[in-house]
Amino acid sequence: MTASLLALASATPLYEGNNRVCYLHPRDPSLLVKIIKPSAEPHALRRRTRKFQRRLLPLRHYDIQDREIRAYRVLLRRVGPEVETFIPPVHGMVQSDLGPCLVTDFVRGADGAPGIALPDLIRQGYDAEAMESVERLRRFVLDKGVAACDFSPPNVVFARNAAGMLEAKLVDGFGNTDYIPGWQWSLSIARRGARRAVRKFDRKLALLMEER
């Protein structure tokens, strides 16, 4: 084992989504690392698409982590450092004893408390302050044309910043799966896609509120 290989095999995962398992970075608690589950490996995702698509698109197209890294770079170029207020910085890939993993900032409050995902916040009480935070995130997605393939409530995490303001951040699902990534070249195409993503998000949020 090399010195730089992250030791995750004996660590307990902090979170699990449909596609990835998240661990605290063993050497830096301000970071989270994400490992792709076998069912969401690029090869597995490609197997589930139609044959003509498989021939047409490179394997990279099915790589969730790579998509996120590239989308973050595009947004940083387009928006500048303000992007960090709404999307935790994505730092790239590193090797671990469980395979390659994506490194991103761990959303925590200024007091160090881990962030709370939107479905959990709704169960605890979704008040006017939380709604305002979500509204700021929606505005950001719409104004900056954030391409979002999965703008859904579990991908929105809240934390209180040093000024005491509750911030809602999109931790996953940015970047899209279009064959031609028009959103990267044209802000109006990007904004059109963002409007679709926000409409879907609003429907999912409304359902969650009804189920509460």
Ligand X SMILES: Nc1ncnc2c1ncn2[C@@H]1O[C@H](COP(=O)(O)OP(=O)(O)OP(=O)(O)O)[C@@H](O)[C@H]1O
Task: Name the token pair of 140.
Answer: 């950001």
Binding partner selected for residue 107 from Mg ion, ligand X, none, CB under the kind-specific 5 to 8 Å limit: ligand X
Among candidate residues 118, 102, 184, the one with its CA nearest the CA of residue 147 = 184
Q: What residues line the site for ligand X (CB under 6 A)?
A: 15, 17-20, 22, 32, 34, 88, 104-107, 115, 117, 150, 154-155, 157, 171-173
Beta carbon of residue 134, minimum distance to ligand X (angstroms, whole number): 15
> Is residue 65 involved in binding Mg ion (CB under 5 A)?
no
Beta carbon of residue 52, minimum distance to ligand X (angstroms, whole number): 25
What phi-psi label fits residue 145: left (phi over 0), alpha (psi between -120 and 50 degrees) or beta? left
Beta carbon of residue 147, minimum distance to ligand X (angstroms, whole number): 15
Centre a 10 Å sphere on the Cβ of residue 92 and count the other Cβ atoms it contains. 11
Residue among 141 and 171 whose Cβ is closer to ligand X: 171
- When CB distances to Mg ion are compared, the closest residue is 172
Binding partner selected for residue 32 from ligand X, Mg ion, none, CB under the kind-specific 5 to 8 Å limit: ligand X
Binding partner selected for residue 68 from ligand X, Mg ion, none, CB under the kind-specific 5 to 8 Å limit: none
Under 8 Å between Cβ of 144 and 198: no
Binders in 140-169 for Mg ion, by CB under 5 A: 155
Under 8 Å between Cβ of 94 and 6: yes
Q: What are the distances in angstroms from CA 160 to CA 33, 108, 141, 165? A: 22, 8, 20, 5
Beta carbon of residue 2, minimum distance to ligand X (angstroms, whole number): 26
Residue among 104 and 155 whose Cβ is closer to Mg ion: 155
Single out the segment in contact with Mg ion by CB under 5 A; choices: 59-67, 171-179, 181-189, 192-200: 171-179
Beta carbon of residue 17, minimum distance to ligand X (angstroms, whole number): 2
What is the number of H-type helices and E-type strands within the chain? 7, 8
Among candidate residues 104, 211, 200, the one with its CA nearest the CA of residue 153 = 200
Task: Name the token pair of 181.
Answer: 């990534």
> Is residue 17 involved in binding Mg ion (CB under 5 A)?
yes
In a 3-state reduction of DSSP, which class is residue 103?
strand
Helical segments of 39-161, H only: 42-47, 51-56, 64-79, 83-86, 118-124, 128-144
> Is residue 172 involved in binding Mg ion (CB under 5 A)?
yes
Residues at the interface with Mg ion (CB under 5 A): 17, 155, 172
